Structure 1
């Protein structure tokens, strides 16, 4: 009888491909219209990527665990500090934080001087 791998083991195996890991993070950062932000999802995605890419970037299992714990601290930082530190955090895994042009105008942000909230 064939055995099956767990979903998590299969996910970590796939995330060892940096291109797949980048796409995985990207999909976790995109929100559908009227979808509420859930910071736990991006934290989980980043933690999974750290587990998958950490070892192949020279980290011991202990260092990967510490790196994942550092994510909590990083994500609790205010605004621009968090963005810059997230960029460094990803860089250490062989990834980089980038900005691209939205594929269609429905994805673009409409902003007005009277708006106090920016929606992305």
Structure 2
């Protein structure tokens, strides 16, 4: 990873600690209708809050969290809700 990429990631993770920014980011990614992109976005939000701390707050094992949010992960709705709650967000549905 070059310096510019690292700086971008650092800035992104810093921004994602703000619940408004994290919600807008996840919402925008959901518009893509790409499960892999959604999983990556959720992983970045969790990373911004510290994966170990998110696992603790979500009452999930760290391995379970990493597996669920990993590249090939497929978190259950319950896991998704726990992770979102752990970072100060909640799942909601709106008319299309």
- Identify whether the pair has TM-score above 0.5, normalized to the shorter chain: yes
Equivalent residues in 2 for 1:14-25, closer than 5 Å: 14-25=15-26
Matches within 5 A, 1:49-60: 49-54=45-50, 59=53
Is 1:84 the counterpart of 2:78 in the alignment? yes
Which structure features the higher share of helix residues?
Answer: 2
Gaps of 5+ in 2: 57-61
Aligned residues: 87
Q: CA RMSD for the aligned pairs?
A: 3.4
CA deviation after TM superposition for structure 1 residue 92, in Å: 1.5
Which residue number in structure 2 is paired with residue 48 of structure 1?
A: 44
Q: Which has the larger radius of gyration?
A: 1
Structure 1 portions without partners, runs of 5+: 32-36, 103-120
Given that 2:29 and 2:38 are in contact with CA atoms closer than 8 Å, whether structure 1 keeps it comes out as: yes
2:35 matched residue in structure 1 = 39
